[in-house]
Amino acid sequence: MTATLDGAAQSTEISLAQAVNRALRDAMTADEKVVVFGEDVGVLGGVFRVTDGLTRDFGENRCFDTPLAEAGIMGTAIGMAMYGYRPVVEMQFDAFSYPAFEQIASHLAKMRNRTRGALPLPVVVRVPYGGGIGGVEHHSDSSEGYFVATPGLHVVTPATVSDAYTLLRAAIESDDPVIFMEPKRLYWSKDVLDTDAPAIGQAAVRRQGADATLIAYGPTVQTALEAAEAGAAEGFDLEVVDLRSIVPFDDATVTASVRKTGRAVVIHEAAGFGGTGAEIAARVSERCFHWLEAPVRRVTGFDIPYPPPKLERHHLPSVDRILDAVASLQWEDR
Amino acid sequence: MTVLATPDKTGSGFPLGFDAILDPSPLQYLDEHGALSGALRDDAPELDPKELLATWRAMVIGRRFDVQATTMVRQGRLAVYPSSFGQEACEIGAILALRPTDWFFPTYRDCVSMVTRGIDPVETLTLLRGDWHCGYDPQRWRTAPQTTPLATQAPHATGVGLAAKLAGDDTVALAFCGDGGTSEGDFHEALNFAAVYQAPAIFFVQNNQYAISVPLAKQTHAAALAHKAVGYGMAGVRVDGNDVIAVRRVVAEAAERARRGEGPTLIEAVTYRMQAHTNADDATRYRDESEVEYWQARDPLARLEIYLRAAGLLTDDVVAEANQAAEELAADMRARLGEEPEVDHRDLFRHVYAQPTPQLLEQAAALQAELDAESDAERDAGNEAAR
């Protein structure tokens, strides 16, 4: 992967939203078959300004607004991919992707398999997700579980500015459909862009530690890192694994970390019951049972519809809740 | 290619009266008695005999395919077969009006149209035999896999049309769907998108009066499905779906409009599902035999034959040749579909992703180990028995 960044830009901090924009821009420059469309992504530049300037710079044939209809957006993208395009579509908010779910589950995820590889669908579905922005009920969902449970999709979620760029470039270059979950609460977080990053399917150890592994992705990686920092003051040396992609899942990195530390806490915003964390906890238990000093714990959202803004702080995994979980990991045996 | 000289009957400038769709009577060239209908009687159209005979021949072969497939499902050689018997004017007329470079989006009931496109009958029936989800190469035939979730293929046709337009190609995309499918949200979104983007797409609704057991009256309160075109701001036309000359002409005209950049067309073809929904359905539970008899008298193949015989085009030699070709196709189907297909369990994992995930590689290995253990056990049991 090559980024079209000059030296000056490389030392400047940009926001995660700007990193996504730059990835789209560079992908559109590199391949004329890359097209971007969705609701308000054109002249407005998207409600989060992620597609800012793309219509202006690439023209309406490359970045365009659609009618308000997510199944139509998804179905049109599938047809365009059948014809050789590489559509990158935006679902304006997590919960707005649900009308597109039939197209995603019945066709996007299955077409390659259905046709024995004759009709691959290189489509990227960008989904701004997660809470913590004071949004209303349908603007704060963590919907990754639906996609993770659908074979045929890759499900990728960046937690850093650099991953927002590199993972999206990789997603667009992938010949498989990728659900690209953007943690909207991190859109305004800033960092220097580093384009040298591992491929889709590789997790990253964001912080080394010896006592327990915090396994997180997307919006909760930052929370996990803060918890690890706070935990150090309490005498816990915590490792933080950022999954980066949920499908494919990096069993190797997760297993190696937990076997090293002997304890694990899985963290996500989505409801715990039947959630992605349940799968991760099961995989860790299956692979690390003889290395575990304590049961794998989960810190997730409650099993409730997304709460209103004034109550969401009770719902979201917090530093304290993570540290409480860590503290419960049977340290008395140590 | 001239199938018909199409005089302007509406005075609108559109030869097919696209702007006259509020009249729900379907466009027809050939009535149920095989005579040129309406005003065309006094204004004899110019017909291309070769074209007409080729269309008729394809209908003879298509019907034989359908009958053979229905027989084979009874014999257990196919898992299921949704028949399109009696809908040949739609299945064949629409396909023959397309170019090989156009894209076609069939539903589960459209095997006859796929065979007409040239797809091998066994590859066509792979889905319904159950050895894979799609048996042919969609890129080669520019034919998408048959769709089971209703109308979900319609936005794909919009997407192909939009892509072709952006690429500057003169490709047209045609999606079939049924009257029931028009109630789906995807149908609406596909047509709206196609109209907004003026995509070269044709939405061909085979209104065969039933969605399994539910009649059209419970599907829509509209006088005609073609009227929906008005709401999308696109061309729409209602055609006699048992008149292959009309169907072929209407689709050809819609395709030409699309190629000229004049956008999508909604076609409602009024026809009838002569058989039950599938072999697993019992149509006597929801409709009278008298209704079926009414439509039997409007058979698309019979009326074309009457016309062609009266015109002196359908000689005994021509009939004999077509029947022989149809019987050869049926014999080929019996022979090849009579064999148990080879399936490979490794295919379960091969095509889910471009590169299998580590988890799929593990699962593939686990299945292989299971099967190896089974065959070892069978071999040991065999050796035991031999002793």
The three state secondary structure string of A77-144 is: HHHHHHCCCEEEEECCCHHHHHHHHHHHHHHHCCHHHHCCCCCCCCCEEEEEECCCCCCCHHHCCCCH
In chain B, residues with a C-beta closer than 8 Å to the C-beta of A84 are 163, 167
Q: How far apart are CA B143 and CA B107, in angstroms?
A: 11
Task: Tell me the per-residue pLDDT of B141-163, one tens digit each, with 9 for 90 and over.
Answer: 999 999 999 999 999 999 999 99
What separation in angstroms does the CA of B82 have from each of A18, B69, B121, B256?
A: 52, 9, 15, 31
Q: What are the tokens at A141? A: 């969902």
DSSP A16-39: HHHHHHHHHHHHHHH-TTEEEEET
pLDDT, average across residues B249-270: 97
CB contact under 8 A, A69 and B189: yes
Query: Hey, are the CB atoms on A71 and B350 less than 8 Å from each other?
Result: no
The stretch A155-182 carries a mean pLDDT of 98
> What pLDDT sits at residue B39?
53
DSSP H/E element including A226:
helix A219-233
CATH tag, A12-192:
3.40.50.970
CA distance B190 to B105: 13
C-alpha span between A16 and A22 (Å, rounded): 10
Contact A176 B353 (CB under 8 A): yes
What is the Cα–Cα distance from B357 to B375, expressed in whole angstroms? 27
Residue range B175-183: average pLDDT? 97
Q: For residues B137 and B199, give the distance between their C-alpha atoms in angstroms, rounded to a whole number.
A: 25
How many C-beta neighbours within 10 Å does residue A8 have? 7
**Interchain contact A202–B (C-beta under 8 A):** no
| Tokens found for residue B316 | 């005994």
Please report which helix (H) or strand (E) contains residue B290, including its range.
Answer: helix B289-296
- CA B333 to CA B122: how far, in whole Å? 7
Residue B218 scores a pLDDT above 60: yes
pLDDT at position A11 is 79
Residue B4, pLDDT above cutoff 60: no
Chain B positions touching A151 (Cβ under 8 A) are: 352
Cβ distance of B156 and A85 shorter than 8 Å: no
Q: Do B60 and B326 touch, CB atoms closer than 8 A?
A: yes
ipTM for this prediction: 0.94
CB A198 within 8 A of CB A204: yes
**For tokens 């979104």, what's the residue?**
B189
Neighbouring-strand partners of residue B238? B268
Q: How confident is the model at residue A21 (pLDDT cuts 50, 70, 90)?
A: very high
Residue type, position A176, single letter: D
Nearest to B157 among A79, A174, A247 (CB): A79
Q: What is the pLDDT of residue A230?
A: 98
Whole-angstrom distance, CA of residue B243 vs CA of residue B252: 14
Domains of chain A, by residue range, sit at 12-192, 204-329
A59 vs B: CB within 8 A: no
| A1 pLDDT higher than 60 | no
Overall pTM > 0.90: yes
Name the β-bridge partners of A141: none
CB contact under 8 A, A116 and B352: no
pLDDT digits (tens, 9 = 90+) for B345-359: 999 999 999 999 999
> Do residues A223 and A317 touch, judged by C-beta distance below 8 A?
yes
For the cut 60, the answer to whether the pLDDT of residue A9 exceeds it is no
Residue B94 has pLDDT above 50, yes or no: yes
Candidates B238, B257, B273, B298; catalytic one = B273
Is B23's pLDDT higher than 80? no
Other CB atoms within a 10 A radius of the CB of residue B193 amount to 28
Q: Which residues from B are below 8 Å from A175, CB to CB? A: 354
**Alpha-carbon gap: A79 to the closest alpha carbon of chain B (Å):** 4
Pull the structure tokens for residue B323: 């029947």
Contacts (Cβ under 8 Å, ≥6 apart) of B342: B131
Q: Is B286 considered catalytic here?
A: yes
The SS3 assignment for A192 reads strand
Q: What DSSP element (H or E) covers B188?
A: helix B185-196
Cβ–Cβ of B139/A119 closer than 8 Å?
yes
Give the full edge-to-edge strand order of the sheet including B201-207.
B103-105, B173-178, B201-207, B265-270, B235-240
Which is more confidently placed, B281 or A126?
A126
State how beta strands B235-240 and B173-178 pair: unpaired
Of B239, B151, B157, B161, the C-alpha closest to B188 is: B151
Q: Does position B190 have pLDDT exceeding 60, yes or no?
A: yes
Q: Where are the domains of chain B?
A: 18-337, 347-386
* pLDDT band at residue B22 using 50, 70 and 90 as cut-offs: low
Would you call A115 and B164 a contact, using CB atoms and an 8 Å cutoff? no
pLDDT of residue B16: 47
Query: Smallest CA–CA separation between B166 and chain A, in Å?
Result: 7
Give the closest of B144, B155, B357 to A71, CB-based. B155
Question: Distance (Å, rounded) from C-alpha B387 to C-alpha B134?
Answer: 45
Q: Once rounded to an integer, what is the mean pLDDT over residues B228-241?
A: 95
As beta bridge partners, residue B267 has B204, B237
SS3 content of chain A, % helix, strand, coil (to 5): 40, 20, 40
Of B144, B192, B350, which has the smallest distance from its Cβ to A82's Cβ?
B144
The stretch B55-62 carries a mean pLDDT of: 98
Phi, psi of A37 (to 5 degrees): -150, 160
The pair of three-digit structure tokens given for residue B63, joined into one six-digit string: 């019907």
pLDDT at B13 over 60: no
Q: What is the mean pLDDT of chain A?
A: 95
Q: What is the pLDDT of residue B47?
A: 73
B108 noted as active-site residue: no
Enter the CATH code of domain A204-329: 3.40.50.920
Residue pLDDT, tens place only, B270-321: 999 999 999 889 999 999 999 999 999 999 999 999 999 999 999 999 999 9
Verify whether the Cβ–Cβ distance A74 to B145 is below 8 Å: no
What spatial distance separates the first Cα and last Cα of chain B, rounded to whole Å? Answer: 74
Cα–Cα distances in Å, from A257 out to A217, A272, B171, B240? Answer: 15, 22, 54, 69
* B60 contacts B66 by C-beta, under 8 angstroms: no
Does residue A248 have a cis bond before it (omega within 30 degrees)? yes
3-state SS assignment for residue B192? helix
In chain B, the percentage of residues whose pLDDT exceeds 90 is: 86
Interface test with A, best of B139, B153, B162 (most A CBs within 10 A): B162
pLDDT at residue number B5? 29
Burial of B103 (0-12, 13-18, 19+ CB in 10 A): buried
End-to-end CA distance of chain A: 46
CATH architecture entry for B18-337? 3-Layer(aba) Sandwich (3.40)
**pLDDT at res. B382:** 86
Give residue B383's pLDDT. Answer: 86
- What is the average pLDDT across A302-328? 97
